[in-house]
Amino acid sequence: MTEHRIASTLLSRRDLRFLLHEWLRVGELCDRPRFADHSAEMFDDVLALSERIATERFAPHNRAADIHEPRMDDDGRVVLVPEVGEALAAFAEAGLLGASMDEAVGGMQLPHTVTSAAYAWFQAANIGTSAYAFLTVGAANLLQACGSPEQIDRWVTPMVDGRFFGTMCLSETQAGSSLADVATRAEPQDDGTYRVFGNKMWISGGDHELGENIVHLVLARLPGAPAGVKGISLLLVPRVLLDDDGGLAERNDVVLAGVNHKMGFRGTVNTVLGFGEGVHRPGGEVGAVGYLVGAPNGGLAAMFHMMNEARIGVGMGAAALGYTGYLKALQYALERPQGRPIASKDPAQPQVPLVEHADVRRMLLAQKSWVEGAMALILYCGRLLDDAQTHPDDDARAQAALLLDVLTPITKSWPSQWGLAANDLAIQVHGGYGYTREYDVEQHYRDNRLNGIHEGTHGIQGLDLLGRKVTMRGGAGFVLLLQTIGTTIARASEAGDEPARLAAQLQAAVERLGQVTAAVWSQGDVELALANATAYLEAAGHIVVAWLWLEQWLAADGSGDDAFYEGKRQAARFFFAYELPRTGPQLDLLAQLDRTALDMQDAWF
- Work out the angle between the directed axes of helices 497-520 and 533-556 (0-180°, nearest 10): 160
Q: How far apart are CA 512 and CA 506, in angstroms?
A: 10
DSSP code at position 153: I
* Residue 185 near residue 220, CB atoms below 8 Å: yes
Q: Is the pLDDT of residue 383 over 60?
A: yes
Q: Which residues pair with 164 in a beta bridge?
A: 213
Q: Give tens-digit pLDDT for 124-136.
A: 999 999 999 999 9
Instruction: Please give the full DSSP string across 395-455, using - where no structure is assigned.
Output: HHHHHHHHHHHHHHHHHHHHHHHHHHHHHHHHHHHHGGGGGSTTSTHHHHHHHHHGGGTTT
pLDDT above 90: percentage of residues in the chain? 91
**Distance between CA atoms of residues 570 and 315, nearest Å:** 24
CA 205 – CA 192 distance, rounded (Å): 28
pTM score: 0.96
Summarised one tens digit per residue, pLDDT across range 158-207 is 999 999 999 999 999 888 888 889 999 999 999 999 999 999 999 999 99
Query: Is the model's pLDDT at 305 over the cut of 90?
Result: no
Identify the DSSP state of 351. Answer: P
Residues ≥6 apart with Cβ < 8 Å to 432: none
* 263-278 pLDDT, tens digit each: 999 999 999 999 998 7
Q: What is the pLDDT of residue 1?
A: 40
Chain mean pLDDT for the chain: 95
DSSP string computed for 481-545: HHHHHHHHHHHHHHH-HHHHHHHHHHHHHHHHHHHHHHHHTTT--HHHHTTTHHHHHHHHHHHHH
The catalytic residues are 455
Q: By the 8 A CB rule, do 470 and 405 touch?
A: no
The pLDDT of residue 560 is: 63
Name 220's bridge partners.
Answer: 233
Q: Which of 1-10, 461-470, 536-545 has the lowest mean pLDDT?
A: 1-10
pLDDT at residue 2 above 60? no
d(CA 472, CA 553): 32
Neighbouring C-beta atoms of residue 385, cutoff 10 Å: 22
User: CB neighbours (10 Å) of residue 589?
Assistant: 16
pLDDT at res. 352: 94
Q: Residue 131: CB partners within 8 Å, gap ≥ 6?
A: 204, 205, 265, 267, 268
Number of neighbours of residue 193 by Cβ within 10 angstroms: 17
> End-to-end distance of the chain based on CA atoms, in angstroms?
58
Q: Which amino acid is at 98?
A: G
Average pLDDT for residues 78-96, to the nearest whole number?
Answer: 98
443 close to 62: Cβ distance less than 8 angstroms:
yes
How sure is the predictor about 375, in pLDDT bands with cuts at 50, 70 and 90? Answer: very high
- Residue pLDDT, tens place only, 133-160: 999 999 999 999 999 999 999 999 999 9
DSSP state of 99: T
Nearest to 420 by CA among 547, 271, 265: 265
- DSSP 8-state symbol, 584: H
- State mean pLDDT over 376-385: 98
Count CB-CB contacts under 10 A for residue 429: 24
Domain boundaries defined on the chain: 457-600
Residue 3: predicted pLDDT: 55
Which tens digits make up the pLDDT trace of 472-503?
Answer: 999 999 999 999 999 999 999 999 999 999 99
User: Is the distance from CB of 196 to CB of 185 less than 8 angstroms?
Assistant: yes
| Residues belonging to the chain | 605
Q: Which amino acid is at 596?
A: T
For residue 3, the tally of other CB atoms under 10 A from its CB is 6
CA–CA gap between residue 515 and residue 505 (Å, rounded): 16
Q: Which amino acid is at 474?
A: G
Residue 259 CA: distances (Å) to CA of 69, 271, 297, 324: 10, 5, 30, 28
Predicted confidence (pLDDT) per residue in 317-355, tens digit = 999 999 999 999 999 999 999 999 888 888 888 999 999
Q: Where is 238: in which H helix or E strand?
A: strand 233-238
Q: Cα separation of 214 and 135, whole Å? A: 11
β-pair partners for 293 = 234
Taking residue 578's Cβ as centre, other Cβ atoms within 10 Å add up to 13
